[in-house]
Amino acid sequence: MAKKGAKKGGKKVRCQKAERSDTDGVMIVTCKHLFIYYYHVLLRHESLRDVFTFLVTRFEHRPPKFIIYDKACELARYCRARWPEFFARTMFLTDIFHGVTHKCSDEFKYHAL
């Protein structure tokens, strides 16, 4: 089996066996001092439903003041459609790394990072 990206006869050869990680990511909740309060390991590709469930189970009595998420505009619509009273005062923001390529309005862009 050829190494990933190895060249054979001038053509790039791809590895026949796809590499698979044990996790598709992690969601974390921190304070402003970056102390981790909660984390959730994603065993499959994340969905808005997963994030919503994580939020309402961790913050069942009081919603967070703001949420920084790579697809903040989609998450805001999803959460507010399902529980508008709970998420009414929550700000949904996209970090600067992800916000550069997103086409959502400026209200979702977090520039202080």
Are 73 and 48 contacting, i.e. CB atoms less than 8 angstroms apart?
A: no
Q: What is the pLDDT of residue 110?
A: 56
State the Cα–Cα distance between residues 17 and 2, nearest whole angstrom: 10
Chain segment 45-86, per-residue pLDDT in tens: 778 898 999 999 989 889 999 888 888 889 999 999 999 999
Q: What is the pLDDT of residue 76?
A: 93
Instruction: For residue 7, list its beta bridge partners.
Output: 12
Closest Cα partner for 42 from 53, 34, 32?
A: 53
Instruction: For residue 25, list its beta bridge partners.
Output: 42
Are 75 and 64 contacting, i.e. CB atoms less than 8 angstroms apart?
A: no
